[in-house]
């Protein structure tokens, strides 16, 4: 596994990018991101579980979910798909939401961008390894929201590393189980 996070951006609009290579064929990596029964097994940061999930994987569709922490706190989110290119790319607007799917502000950071544009690409490396590249940037954000996003890069890197770890535990089996 290789994780690469570039240094902080020089401009407010440079996306946050994280790259991971997983030792599974492209079709397996794609399925882990696009089949709800698989996504719910690993999606979210460490210490959370998916307790609600609805997915309509098509342009114009969405993934609406609820994550619950070990303390019982719930966080709702929504991904609205803009582009779905099978085995290649997912492009979506990511937001926090309420239980009905309405876009809401971040529950703990009111100056977080209301929406972020996310692009996840899938690249076959050698037939047995897939390179995942996630690009994330504020969408239609104010200067204050851009600044909040910039200041959160280290936390985002930590969060994505944890989620990639969960993905790999799902793909390869968690040895602690």
Q: Which of 109, 176, 174 is closest to 144 using CA atoms?
A: 109
Task: Report the distance separating Cα 63 and Cα 48, nearest Å.
Answer: 17
Q: What is the pLDDT of residue 3?
A: 53
**In which residue ranges of the chain is pLDDT below 70?**
1-12, 174-177
Q: What is the pLDDT of residue 14?
A: 87
Q: Compute the 3-state secondary structure of the chain and give helix, strand, coil in percent, each to the nearest 5.
A: 25, 40, 35
Interhelix angle 153-172/143-151, rounded to 10 degrees, is 60
Q: Which of 136, 141, 159, 112 is closest to 17 using CA atoms?
A: 136
CATH code of 3-45+82-95+102-159, in short, is: 3.30.530.20
10 Å Cβ neighbour count for 118? 19
Q: How does pLDDT run across 146-165, given as a tens digit for each residue? A: 999 999 999 999 999 999 99
What is the dihedral angle through the alpha carbons of 107, 109, 112, 116, rounded to the nearest 10 degrees?
-40
Q: How does pLDDT run across 15-40, given as a tens digit for each residue? A: 999 999 999 999 999 999 999 999 99
Q: What is the pLDDT of residue 7?
A: 42
Q: Measure CA 91 to chain center.
A: 11
């Amino acid at each position: 596994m290789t994780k690469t996070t570039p240094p902080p951006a020089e401009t407010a609009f440079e996306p946050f990018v994280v790259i991971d290579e997983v030792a599974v064929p492209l079709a397996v990596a794609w399925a882990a991101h696009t089949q709800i029964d698989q996504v719910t097994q690993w999606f979210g940061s460490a210490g959370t579980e998916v307790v609600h999930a609805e997915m309509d994987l098509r342009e114009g569709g969405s993934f609406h979910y609820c994550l619950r922490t070990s303390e019982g706190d719930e966080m709702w989110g929504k991904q609205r798909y803009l582009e779905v290119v099978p085995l290649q790319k997912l492009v979506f607007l990511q937001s926090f939401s309420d239980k009905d799917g309405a876009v809401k502000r971040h529950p703990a950071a009111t100056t977080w961008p209301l929406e972020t544009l996310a692009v996840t690409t899938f690249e076959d490396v050698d037939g047995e390894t897939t390179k995942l590249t996630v690009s994330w940037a504020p969408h239609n954000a104010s200067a204050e929201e851009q600044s909040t996003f910039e200041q959160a890069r280290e936390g985002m890197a930590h969060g994505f590393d944890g989620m990639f770890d969960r993905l790999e535990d799902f793909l390869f089996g968690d040895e602690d189980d």
